[in-house]
Amino acid sequence: MPINDDNLLVPEGELSLKLPASNDATNMFGDVYSGWVAARAVEAAEIRAAKIAEGRIATVSVGGMDFMSPVLVGTILSFHTRVVEQGRSSMRIAVEVWGRCPDGRERRKVSETECVQVAIDDKGHIRRLPPQAD
């Protein structure tokens, strides 16, 4: 994981999704439900994969997620993605979830996972990924 000039950990990868955690995503204790965060992590991976595939993709697997701290309502969540591996029709994408307090003072890593996406055509059949740009 990269470290900045202030000796602080920083997210690795491209920012693919950023949004606040809202009231409608809370569990019975008032914390943001982990399933909601997991669904947004998959969305971030899908956004990155669709960009690479230049079209439709399907998620075929999602790795486990450990949560390092609770997510409170109002936390600004940032989902950073990076391609770990790319094949002929599929790609494995790492997703890091980072949270920042609404007042902007504290940023921390919340969770991470890996997703596998496959490029598909309009009929839902697996297709080849476009050639990578150099």
- 122: tokens are 């309009």
Mean pLDDT for the stretch of residues 51-73: 94
Residue 6 covered by a domain: no
Residue 57 covered by a domain: yes
Residue 8 covered by a domain: no
Residue 75 covered by a domain: yes
Residue 5 covered by a domain: no
pLDDT digits (tens, 9 = 90+) for 11-25: 999 999 999 998 888
CATH number at residue 45: 3.10.129.10
Domain count, the chain: 1
| Weakest-pLDDT range from 3-7, 54-58, 79-83 | 3-7
Decide: helix, strand or coil at residue 10: coil
Cα 64 to chain centroid, rounded: 13
pLDDT of residue 9: 81
Provide the whole-model pTM: 0.89
Residue 52 covered by a domain: yes
- 105: tokens are 């003072």
pLDDT of residue 5: 47
Roughly how many angstroms between the first and final C-alpha of the chain, as a whole number? 25
pLDDT of residue 35: 93
Residue 2 covered by a domain: no
Residue 131 covered by a domain: no
Across the chain, mean pLDDT equals: 91
pLDDT of residue 47: 98
Q: Which domain holds residue 36?
A: 15-119
